[in-house]
Amino acid sequence: MRFEAAIYRELLPDRNAVNPDLYCRQLQKELLEFFCFTTMRDHSWITTISEKLPELWQTPKDVLQGERLVNISLCHVAARQADNDNKMSFLWKLYNEKTELLERRSGASCSQVFSLDPKVIYTHKITVQLTMASSDMEDAEYYTEIIEKSSKIDKVYWLASVGDSFSSGQGNPDIPVTRGKAAKWLDETCYRSSKSFPYQVFRKMTNKSSALSFFACSGATVDAGILSKNGQLDRLEKVMKLRDDPPDVLLLTIGGNDIGFTDIISMMQQGSSLEQSFDMRFFYVSHQIDRVATKIQELKIPRVILITYYDVTKNEHGVVDASCGLFGQVSLSNLQQAEKKILRRLNQLLIKKAKKYGWITVDTTEMFRRNGLCSNHGSLIRSRNESLTLQGNEYGSFHPNEEAHRKISEMVLKVLENV
């Protein structure tokens, strides 16, 4: 929900006195959620009043606390007329998109604060009637002016994120370990980070008023985290019931933990051969994805964006490379087998499932093709030492770094621009 900076721009006595768009953008950087329009010498704004991070809808309670206060001001007009020794009164009317009168107020105050329901937000029209009386005459002359402005207050664009450590932002704490103090996260249990691509997508949606249900959790599998009781989709459904509406977009990463990425990496580091067949694992993962798809269909979520998994294996030449020592005891042959038999095959399965269920795919293959762990041209993968330094443990190893999440967020935003 936002009013454009230009709402009353034509009423400014001095149009060159301030750049309203620049001013608003600066305020938006400094506050969690800050929407403004310009008056003469001061600035009125639209903000939210609730607990920390009101834009995160993790529970039904979060939605209920999302009261939106709209502050509309014509004090610049009052100030201008005060110089002429005029007395003013105001009649404020708030309409919805059907031109139905929602609220009517009157009085001498040159600004009003309206409370809007975040669940049902329309295009609103503000009508202000100014009645001015000259006080320097025995018989006061009255002049009435109607100022009527329509402004689109967008329906809150609701994003949801479901998935594993890839989506949660594992490896990228909000605040790294400093002077013996533990790293800080949006959610420490799930290693959810504000540097993750779902959160970055949400924060970069400057043309929309948006909310994020950030349920992705490190270590999540379909059975333990996504479809389990009180799991990610269960929690999302509870918020949906209060909203009586599904999220506009669901960002999804799935399959990495179900295929057993962690176990496979551990096997490789111990020198075990990967010559075995993974057919049964992929049969199982395929079934698990189908189960998640069925649940998403039941929830009637209109748009799902599936992000394919990142490739840790390639150097700057696009060749599988284990020579940099960052893979521990993993042999080149095992790493080649892992890239071919597991990572490449899993992404092919994900793309196939996305096509089957009408999901949109964001394919990260090209992005990581020359930026794996051993790349000399800017690796996009966290090493073990980096993880220890940043978050005090090894859990962030072999995960995309902050720059990777930034790039993925840009890819997702481009998709959203076209849907």
Query: What confidence tier does 337 reach under pLDDT thresholds 50, 70, 90?
Result: confident
114 compared with 342, residue with greater pLDDT: 342
Q: What tokens does 256 get?
A: 């990495």
Q: What is the mean pLDDT of the chain?
A: 79
User: What is the mean pLDDT of the segment spanning 399-412?
Assistant: 98
Please provide the DSSP assignment of 270-325 as one string: TT----S--HHHHHHHHHHHHHHHHHHHHHT-S-EEEEPPP--SB-TTS-B--TTS
Amino acid identity of 213? S
User: What is the mean pLDDT of the segment spanning 84-112?
Assistant: 76
Element (H, E) at 114: strand 111-116
Q: What is the pLDDT of residue 110?
A: 77
Residue with tokens 């379909």: 222
Q: What is the pLDDT of residue 386?
A: 98
Element (H, E) at 69: strand 68-73
Beta-strand relationship, 360-362 and 304-307: parallel
Query: For residue 171, with 0-12 CB atoms within 10 Å meaning exposed, 13-18 middle and 19 or more buried, which class applies?
Result: buried
Instruction: Give the span between the Cα atoms of 136 and 87, in whole angstroms.
Output: 10
Q: What is the pLDDT of residue 267?
A: 73
User: What is the mean pLDDT of the segment spanning 196-219?
Assistant: 91
- Residue 267 to residues 109, 272, 276, Cα–Cα distance (Å): 72, 5, 12
Please provide the DSSP assignment of 164-210 as one string: SHHHHTTT--SB--BTTBPPB-SBTTTTB-TTSHHHHHHHH-TTS-E
CA 17, chain centre distance (Å): 34
Q: What tokens does 264 get?
A: 């496979």
**In the predicted model, is pLDDT for residue 246 greater than 50?**
yes
**In the predicted model, is pLDDT for residue 313 greater than 70?**
yes
Q: Quick one: what percent of the chain has pLDDT higher than 70?
A: 69
Q: What is the pLDDT of residue 265?
A: 74
**In the predicted model, is pLDDT for residue 154 greater than 80?**
no
Using DSSP's 3-state secondary structure scheme, residue 29 falls into helix
**In the predicted model, is pLDDT for residue 258 greater than 60?**
yes
pTM: 0.75
Q: Which of these, 362, 61, 58, lies nearest to 215 by C-alpha position?
A: 58
CB 405 within 8 A of CB 347: no
Backbone φ and ψ for 146, nearest 5 degrees, come out as -100, 120
Q: What is the pLDDT of residue 143?
A: 58
User: Domains in the chain, please, with CATH?
Assistant: 9-53+67-152 (no CATH), 157-417 (3.40.50.1110)
Tell me the β-bridge partners of 70. 46, 114
Query: What confidence tier does 90 reach under pLDDT thresholds 50, 70, 90?
Result: confident
Instruction: Give the span between the Cα atoms of 191 and 169, in whole angstroms.
Output: 7
Q: What tokens does 211 get?
A: 């909310």
Q: What is the pLDDT of residue 111?
A: 78
Q: What is the pLDDT of residues 158-181, one digit of tens each?
A: 999 999 999 999 999 999 999 889
Query: What confidence tier does 330 reach under pLDDT thresholds 50, 70, 90?
Result: confident
Instruction: Give the span between the Cα atoms of 146 and 135, in whole angstroms.
Output: 21
Query: What confidence tier does 334 reach under pLDDT thresholds 50, 70, 90?
Result: confident
**In the predicted model, is pLDDT for residue 101 greater than 90?**
no
**In the predicted model, is pLDDT for residue 308 greater than 60?**
yes
Instruction: Give the span between the Cα atoms of 383 and 261, in whole angstroms.
Output: 16
